[in-house]
């Protein structure tokens, strides 16, 4: 068996061409199409062509927020690692993940709640526009919904893509009715890699 020598750029280009071909003529307006393709590229799962839901102008709203230096708060170190922080920094933004901070761990234990809950409270205190990227914890989405209802936070955008079986579907539906811009992977599928892929798709669109 002989394998081609292919550069990373060529791999990505050919992968995107394959995805476009296998979508069999299905297209979406940009930048939604780029977001969908990057999620498929990240996961090799074409279900994202059907389960990604966008509130009106969500991608454009997210892009404008990023251009204006919005920060990102994630619920996992994996999502934080996957986001192109160098690209984000060129616009004045940075990524925060509080999930492993010792004071967050201690507070969550003392209150009997999840670290994701405390992390969202920390994110709500940032004094600039914030995009929340949730790839793992439905409790993070539930807490964001509570904070939004109380007027404690007004996210520039919520990327709600936790994966799993307990409270996942319901928490996503909650965010879709929270009155804020969202990109949600409806159903059980998602993950930190998908959350990072969505943000990177928006960032790379801005670079064109």
Which residues form the catalytic set? Answer: 41
Instruction: Give the Cα separation of 154 and 170 in Å (integer).
Output: 21
Structure tokens at 175: 């965010």
Give the separation between CA 35 and CA 117, rounded to whole angstroms: 27
3-class DSSP state for residue 7? coil
- Are 182 and 58 in contact, with CB atoms under 8 Å apart? yes
Q: How far, in Å, CA of 193 to CA of 196, rounded?
A: 5
Interstrand relation of 130-134 and 71-74 (parallel, antiparallel or unpaired)? parallel
């Amino acid at each position: 068996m002989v394998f081609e020598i292919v550069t990373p750029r060529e791999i990505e280009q050919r992968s995107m061409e394959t995805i476009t071909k296998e979508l069999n003529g299905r297209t979406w307006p940009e930048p939604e199409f780029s977001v969908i393709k990057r999620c498929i590229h990240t996961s090799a799962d074409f279900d994202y062509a059907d389960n990604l839901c966008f509130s009106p102008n969500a991608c454009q709203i997210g892009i404008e927020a990023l251009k204006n230096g919005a920060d990102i708060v994630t619920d996992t170190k994996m999502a934080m690692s996957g986001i192109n922080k160098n690209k984000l920094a060129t616009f004045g933004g940075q990524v925060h993940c509080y999930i492993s901070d010792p004071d967050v761990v201690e507070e969550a234990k003392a209150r009997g709640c999840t670290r994701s809950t405390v992390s969202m409270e920390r994110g709500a205190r940032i004094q600039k526009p914030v995009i929340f990227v949730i790839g793992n914890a439905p409790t993070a989405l539930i807490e964001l919904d509570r904070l939004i209802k109380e007027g404690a936070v007004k996210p520039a955008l919520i990327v709600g893509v936790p994966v799993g079986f307990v409270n996942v579907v319901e928490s996503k539906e909650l965010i879709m009715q929270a009155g804020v811009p969202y990109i949600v992977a409806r159903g059980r599928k998602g993950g930190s890699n998908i959350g990072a892929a969505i943000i990177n798709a928006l960032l790379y669109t801005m670079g064109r």
